[in-house]
Amino acid sequence: MEAQVEAAVELDHTGKSEPAALRASGLGKRYGSVVALDQVGLSVAPGELVGLVGANGAGKSTLVKIACGLVRPTSGTVTIYGMPAGSREARRQLGYLAELFRFPGWSTASEVLALHQRLAGSTRGASERDELLELVGLGDVAGRRVEGMSKGMQQRLGIAQALVGEPRLLLLDEPTSALDPAGRRAIRTLLLELRERGIAVLLNSHLLGEVERVCDRVVILAGGKVAADGRPEQLTHAGGVEIQTGNGTRRFPSARREDIPKIVSELVAAGVDVYEVTVIRSTLEDAYLEAVDRS
């Protein structure tokens, strides 16, 4: 698995060699006696959508903040497209949505984006602002003050702000925490679209189902360490086969997908009516809980 990750880091989706969008090596962070991160190694390839999951206090936000240059590591290094995290060059490459953020209540959505355009050195002006606000569904409230927006609208404005300046790496810390189901779906669609454009995303989220659905790879942090790292299908595993019959549900816990034809033919031969067959897989939540228990 590690070898696959390295390969993804070296080659982007077009096959060109490029530095990792984000690479953390031996990363450690202490707050006094509390160890937030301990020898964390992690990489995100260009165009890759990586989910970062873990319990409260697992070190997810700390890792993202170090990548942004908001927090200084105690040990180890983080690079953004080969440049030291926190450097001006590295910050030019990224967009960031903090878990807890606020925009000045007196400013309008358009003004918030205009300020970030100036700071990011974006020259795309009103067209970029309109495009981003449209993208997050705020196109019709560009002139509304932030203090007049719902939490969900502010969250979407935060995502638009993170996309100002066409970043090559997006660091999103709980981007859907304040959104309703429709808003979450819109963000999932947006994330997939960004991946299509070759933008790397590190998605920090508690919503495991959401991570499982959109992410190419999932990194599970527990106690400040990487407890698991792999594609969702690698982290989850087969949990047997379940068959709905005329006599009720029959479970075959050790059966695999390849065993289904044989099981079904045996049941039919025995005169059992078969209505539905389901391959059971463990969920990311199961994998997460297992990884946390192991650590």
Residues of the shown chain interacting with other proteins in the complex, contacts defined by CB under 8 A: 65, 68-72, 88-89, 91-92, 94, 96, 98, 100-104, 106-107, 115-116, 118-121, 158, 161
Shortest reach from residue 55's CB to other proteins, in Å: 21
What are the helix (H) ranges across the chain?
A: 2-10, 60-68, 88-92, 109-120, 125-135, 151-162, 181-196, 208-214, 232-235, 260-269, 284-294
CB nearer to other proteins: give 80 or 287. 80
Q: Is 252 helix (H, G, I), strand (E, B) or coil?
A: strand
**Please, are residues 232 and 80 in contact by the beta-carbon 8 Å criterion?**
no
**Which residue has 């992690």 as its token pair?**
42
Shortest reach from residue 158's CB to other proteins, in Å: 8
DSSP secondary structure string for all residues of 175-240: TTTT--HHHHHHHHHHHHHHHHTT-EEEEE-S-HHHHHHH-SEEEEEETTEEEEEE-HHHHS-EEE
Distances 66 to 23, 74, 78, 170 between C-alpha atoms, Å: 11, 10, 8, 14
Shortest reach from residue 76's CB to other proteins, in Å: 15
**Please, are residues 183 and 156 in contact by the beta-carbon 8 Å criterion?**
yes
CB nearer to other proteins: give 169 or 292. 169
Shortest reach from residue 169's CB to other proteins, in Å: 12
CB nearer to other proteins: give 38 or 229. 38
Shortest reach from residue 262's CB to other proteins, in Å: 57
CB nearer to other proteins: give 71 or 287. 71
Q: Considering only CA atoms, which of 287, 288, 231, 236 is closest in space to residue 48?
A: 231
Amino acid in position 284: L
What's the rounded Cα separation, in Å, for the pair 94 and 69?
A: 11
Shortest reach from residue 162's CB to other proteins, in Å: 8
Shortest reach from residue 26's CB to other proteins, in Å: 19
**Please, are residues 9 and 45 in contact by the beta-carbon 8 Å criterion?**
yes
Shortest reach from residue 57's CB to other proteins, in Å: 16
CB nearer to other proteins: give 167 or 232. 167
CB nearer to other proteins: give 110 or 161. 161
CB nearer to other proteins: give 23 or 29. 29
CB nearer to other proteins: give 203 or 214. 203
Amino acid in position 216: D
